[in-house]
Amino acid sequence: MSSWRPYPWLQQSWEHLHSLRQQGKLPHGMLISGDRGLGKAELAQGLASVLLCREQENAEFACGQCKGCQLQQAGTHPDIMRIGLEEKSKQIKVDQVRKVVDFINKTSQQDGNKVVVIEPAEALNINAANALLKCLEEPTKDSFLLLVSHAPGRLLPTIRSRCQVVAVSKPKHDEAKAWLQAHVAAVDSDQDAEKLLMLAQDNPLLAQQYSDDGILTEFDDLAAQLYKLYLGQLALVQYAERVNKGDVPVWLNLSQQFLWTLIRSHMLKVALPIASVESFQQVIEKDGFSKRAYQMLEEIQQAIAEMNSTSNPNTQLLIESLLVRWQAFLRG
Ligand SMILES: [Zn+2]
């Protein structure tokens, strides 16, 4: 933990927080926001660590040696509380926040700061959010609330306005690529890095996740199957059966990403560095491509919504009918 350093794209946010801390101006409520896959939780953890380190008041990083650091490493520090989604729940409930309120109102056990991390903060339900407001309105000395959210727009405005926003943003494409190539062993070619970043929209940790999940192989396979579909050479039902035996939500997401790839290629009017997309050039150049592409996007999103809303969707049928749509779309 002592060796934790922020990702390069978090450096600026980190330095800002550090300088506020040095001036004794670190706000009691902070909302760390930004897209998924940028390391917001790590940033919150890094800040929590240094706030609980007892070695030096104003050091930039936790020392990793003192009692505060050791307790944290063991996961037994009494002055940090984390709340998030409990098993199967999609909301953070008021009972959880009541524990936070009690925790904040007690004096710290290690005679230092107290830290609360709430993630994903957008999951606070209305009662929970209202209960939390009190803590944010009347902060106790030496207590810090770190809210982490990729969808801050879903938080109550009153919560947002009482927190200082720490907005984390994506690195530039070249920075993301350099990081990915330096840190992810499986990314050994320029083309792989480009593809992963395109799928992850330049989000480096998401690209890393995609690499770990072997997404590129699946993406190329999907592209190859769709090309066969376009040519009328795909055994549609059999392919749908194969997809149905795998991870259907992942396949749906990849379908969506693939379509976005075609849309981007169409809009940018350049061939993307992806062999599997090049063969779709004729499709992209057809009249009315954009309009039909956005209709297709809606079809995919509806299928995703159906997967999420029904407890027992007929996935075979869902995949088959989506493939029929794909064929109609590709053939224009
Ligand atoms: Zn320490």
| Amino acid 279: pLDDT | 79
Instruction: Give the ipTM of the model, two decimals please.
Output: 0.99
**Ligand 1 centre and the CA of 40: distance in Å?**
21
Ligand 1 centroid distance, CA of 113 (Å): 13
- CA 39 – ligand 1 centroid, Å: 22
Distance CA 60, CA 291 (A): 52
- Residue 233, judged by CB atoms within 10 A of its CB (0-12, 13-18, 19+), counts as exposed
Q: Quote the ligand 1 centre to 182 CA distance (angstroms).
A: 29
| Distance of CA 45 from the midpoint of ligand 1 (Å) | 14
| DSSP letters for 17-81 | HHHHHHTT---SEEEEE--TTS-HHHHHHHHHHHHH--S-TT-SS--SSSHHHHHHHTT--TTEE
d(CA 31, CA 19): 17
Q: How far is the CA of 165 from the centre of ligand 1 (A)?
A: 26
pLDDT on residue 1: 46
**What are the angstrom distances between the C-alpha of 175 and each of 81, 95, 178, 193?**
34, 42, 5, 12
Structure tokens at 53: 């380190």
Distance, CA 80 to ligand 1 centroid (Å)? 14
- CA distances from residue 220 to 5, 90, 111, 174, 223 in whole angstroms, order as listed: 35, 34, 56, 24, 5
Distance 129 CA to ligand 1 centre (A): 32
Q: Domains along the chain?
A: 8-167 (3.40.50.300), 214-331 (1.20.272)
139 C-alpha vs ligand 1 centroid, how far in Å? 25
CA distance 232 to 138: 66
Per-residue pLDDT of the chain (332 residues; tens, 9 = 90+): 457 899 999 999 999 999 999 999 999 999 999 998 899 999 999 999 999 999 877 899 999 999 999 999 999 999 999 999 998 888 999 999 999 999 999 988 888 999 999 999 999 999 999 999 988 998 888 999 999 999 999 999 999 999 999 999 999 999 999 999 999 888 888 888 988 888 888 899 999 999 998 888 898 899 999 999 999 999 999 999 999 999 898 899 899 989 988 898 888 876 665 666 677 888 988 899 999 999 999 999 999 998 877 777 899 999 999 999 999 999 98
The pLDDT value recorded for residue 318 is 95
User: So what's the pLDDT on residue 261?
Assistant: 86
